[in-house]
Amino acid sequence: MLNIKRLIFVCVVFICFFSSKNLYSQVNKLDENNQRTGVWVKKYDNGNIRYKGEFKNGKEIGVFKFFSMVSSDYPIVKKTYSNDSLFVEFYTINGVKESEGYMIDKKRTGIWKYFYPTGKVMSEENYVNGKLEGEQLVYYPDGQVTEFAVYKNGLLDGTLSKYASNGVLIEEVNYLEGNAHGVAKYFELNGDLKETGTYKHGKRFGKWEYYLDGELATEEDLKKKKKFDKSTDIQLEEK
């Protein structure tokens, strides 16, 4: 009985060995022109898979999966080749998608999306030749817009608007070539205007106006508010 079990075990090992050997012989092959063809699998020095994908006439086709050195359970990058386009997806080491979009010559192009761990969209932005261009939208986890910006040649250039979680506008600042430049407005969480003024090349310029409860405040009003806030802070510290 023991001899039969041993024989079965030896047969299974024999079959597995030659099956794996035959499978390995089918990957990492070169065609008659010495170009990569078929399925290719590359590994790290520790034996974990580095990438797996298919070639035809020396060029990548279909889906390529790239893995972290510490784990081959989930790919951290997926690249899907189709004609002249390349769709790329980035993941955490645990397989949670972080971002996706198209690339040309290793540069991001078109709409890219970034995700929360829940899978909901965190932000959307557009690229031209690897640089941000046009509108960028950032969302709260519930899908409400938290930030709207405009980019040109990779730099903020236009109006940057920020919103509270209830949709109230809390900041509106104009930008030029990456610096705050032009009219700026800041609001309270209830929507009342808090302060407004002008930026010039990233620095506050000229006279700024401040508001209390939506009404234009005088210097005396601001001094009283500052004194009141300071007094309140002291009382809170004492408690």
What would the two tokens of residue 67 be?
């893995």
Residue 89 CA to residue 114 CA, distance in Å, equals: 10
Residue 86 CA, distance from chain mean position? 17
Q: Domains of the chain: which residue ranges?
A: 27-95
Contact predicate 62/68, CB 8 Å: no
List of residues 6+ apart from 192 with CB closer than 8 A: 211, 213, 214
Taking CA atoms, 102 is separated from 9, 12, 56, 105, 236, in Å, by 50, 46, 21, 10, 53
Burial of 190 (0-12, 13-18, 19+ CB in 10 A): exposed
Residues 22-71 have pLDDT tens digits of 444 589 999 999 999 999 999 999 999 999 999 999 999 999 999 999 99
pLDDT at residue 20 in the model: 41
Q: How many helices (H) and strands (E) does the chain have?
A: 2, 18
Lowest-confidence region among 4-13, 93-102, 142-151: 4-13
Q: Which of 186, 213, 212 is nearest to 197 (CA)?
A: 186
pLDDT at residue 16 in the model: 43
Residue 101: phi and psi, rounded to 5, are 170, -175
Residue 239's pLDDT band, with cuts at 50, 70 and 90, is: low
In this predicted structure, the answer to whether residue 172 has a pLDDT above a threshold of 80 is yes
Residues 126-138 have pLDDT tens digits of 999 999 999 999 9
